[in-house]
Amino acid sequence: MNNLKTNFGKRKIKAEKKTLLVQKLFSEVSKKYDLMNDIMSFGTHRLWKKRLIEIMNINSNDRIIDVGSGTGDISKIILKENKNVSIYSVDLNLKMLNEAKNQFNDQQKKKIKFINANAENLPFENNFFDKYVISFCLRNITYIEKALLESFRVLKPGGIFYCLEFSAPASSLVDIIYSKYKNKIVPFIGEKVANNRNAYKYLEESISQFPNQKILLDKINNAGFERTSYINLFDGIVSIHIGFKI
């Protein structure tokens, strides 16, 4: 019997239950997901994602996997940057995938494959992708190390891993203000706008429990990546981690 425990927010639960609980939350908020992101981040999540795509330096004919693609905003920015790419938009949540499909016209959909799959067990052969991107999803995965190993496996030699995720502010003052905002304001907004306080209480707790920049960097190194680094945005409230498969 599997008694392995993991965090679901601040609660300790059986690891085998986390994936289902997280997916239930995302199904409940899928219709208001983009609106909530705009409100909670005052629109800055768009700047973070735009910066991520700039750093990715998208090339023509790149084969890109967008893991935890949600409503498809990363895929949309990639296509604006370069239309001559192939995107595999992967999400475990079918409601999110369906929301994503509605964001693209028929011409754009020719460049995107929408795939319902788990980041821990991707249905692709080894050495398949040029770039792997995961944005605000890694902290929701039950077995982070397993997902990182999968990212390494599916990337080609010379392929690059990119992760945009919430992290730890460098300044203690920013950390204090940000903690109060996460604890008090985010669940309140979730209750009033998405009618789901619990989902956004989980969001706050999942950010607090997630490994900081240096710990995550170690995990990426342990998965086999080299020349790893991270870039802090907004004093480290979010960071972009990068790793190369050599």
- Backbone phi, psi, residue 65, to 5°: -105, 125
Is beta strand 155-166 parallel, antiparallel or unpaired with respect to 238-244? antiparallel
Query: pLDDT tens-digit profile of 50-94?
Result: 999 999 999 999 999 999 999 899 999 999 999 999 999 999 999
Non-local (6+) Cβ contacts of 184 within 8 A are none
Query: pLDDT tens-digit profile of 105-155?
Result: 999 999 999 999 999 999 999 999 999 999 999 998 989 999 999 999 999
Mean pLDDT of 30-39: 70
- Helix and strand totals (H; E) in the chain: 11, 9
Assess contact for 233 and 48: CB atoms under 8 A.
yes
Q: How far apart (Å, rounded) are the C-alpha atoms in residues 120 and 55? A: 25
Mean pLDDT of 165-188: 90
Name the residue ranges covered by the structural domains of the chain: 27-172+180-244
- CATH dotted code for 27-172+180-244: 3.40.50.150
Six-digit token string for 16: 């085998």
* DSSP letters for 71-99: TSHHHHHHHHH-SS-EEEEEES-HHHHHH
Highest mean pLDDT among 1-5, 27-31, 132-136: 132-136
- Selection from 156, 71, 159 nearest residue 114 by Cα: 71
Six-digit token string for 190: 């979730």
